Amino acid sequence: MSKKTFPLSKEQLEEIIKKYPTPFHIYDERAIRENIRKLQKAFAWAPRFREQFAVKALPNPRILQVLHEEGAGTDNSSLAELVLSEAAGYKGEEILLTSNDTPADEFQKAIELGAIINLDDISHLDYLEKNAGLPKIICFRYNPGDLIEGNDIIGKPTEAKYGLTRDQLFEAYKMAQEKGVKRFGLHTMVASNERRTEAFVFTAKLMFELAVELKRRLGIHVEFVNIGGGIGIPYRPEEEPVDLEAVGEGIHKLYNEMMVPEGLGDVAMMTESGRAITGPAGWLVSTAIHEKKTYKDYIGLDSCMANLMRPAMYGAYHHITIAGKENEPCNHTYDITGSLCENNDKFAIDRKLPKIDIGDRVIIHDTGAHGSAMGFNYNGKLWCAELLLHEDGSVELIRRAETLDDYFATLKYPGSVM
């Protein structure tokens, strides 16, 4: 079981709301630090283990600074994310660019930063060389095809746009060798929100097999194996978290059996989790502003799917509690909705909750990854604020709420001042 708690009392929350009106996302610094430390502990056996935090999960430089203090690197998928990493103090090979259909300016920025570049297709090697030059270290993203089943979020590998086939992978490394590249890594990313221990161990097995074959066939001694992210979290209270110790132990056993005898016992290990680090450490705080009774009972919030897209996009479950009513019986059934002009703008459907009154603070759990990050401006909805709850109980504004001036700033029309 995964107990769903909020780190603030109703009274503490009301004091925060006096300064920062709802809606807002709030993140718990203590929980973020604890989550990355658990992952690091599980891989403490590995040479030079590093978590390359997936910036796309929570692209805020203040969060990146916290994670940098804990020894993390970053995994980036765009020019903006590379700049965010740079702004947060990451340097050189702490930065990894893993993108697809990559434009030249992203490659150029990665080269400027001295980042590791992870290529998504064999054709990108020539494009990279032509438009940005070759980096000191390259890895290629492996798509294992039907060897792994995938899941609903990331899709089946055979239908995914990501990565190289096995045959392409060896051809790509050979081409890079011939172009003079001397340093290499190996990468895959095949799961998202996966909670089965055996899935991560099996992925490591596939990658260790590739590392061994690269050495035997091409003489390439990879510097690191990146098994990607995808570590899931228990969104539902009845779900269990991933047993990170079991994952680490299972991969350690394979490493000793497969890598060490081949002279690869110095190969570093990487992960690129996002959700597992910040997901459970975030909450979307909203206020109930309307109650509607038609064919169903609806509670309308001052937030909408522009603030949290996952329930509408994936049908994803996010647990909901009502501040101050955590111990009251869940004897009312509601759809919890936002104001967007889309019928799927619902945070919950037929959810059993305590009676909700207008003005109640509605807490949506596990929004610390792919929450604010997936925000948008449809209907002219504005991005909400992001707050960081420090270990001493103080609160820091790390993204102010977007304003109408922000929304209009990029628009050009007759009568505008642009």
Q: Which residues does the annotation mark as catalytic?
A: 341
Please tell me the chain's helix, strand, coil percentages from 3-state DSSP, rounded to the nearest 5. Answer: 35, 25, 40
The C-alpha atoms of residue 340 and residue 331 are separated, in whole angstroms, by 27
List the Cα angle 382/386/389 in 5-degree steps. Answer: 160
Query: H or E element: which one contains 85?
Result: helix 79-87
Q: At residue 73, what is the residue type?
A: G
Separation of alpha carbons 356 and 394, rounded Å: 29
- Contact predicate 306/381, CB 8 Å: yes
Helix count (H) and strand count (E) of the chain? 12, 17
> What sign does the CA torsion over 282, 151, 94, 112 have?
negative
Pick from 414, 318, 309: nearest CA to 370: 309
Q: Strand 282-293 and strand 24-28: pairing?
A: antiparallel
CA 55 to chain centroid, in Å, comes to 6
Candidates 163, 116, 120, 109; CA nearest to 135 is 116
d(CA 125, CA 136): 13
**3-state per-residue secondary structure call for 240-252:** CCCCHHHHHHHHH
CA pair distance 244, 249, nearest whole angstrom = 8
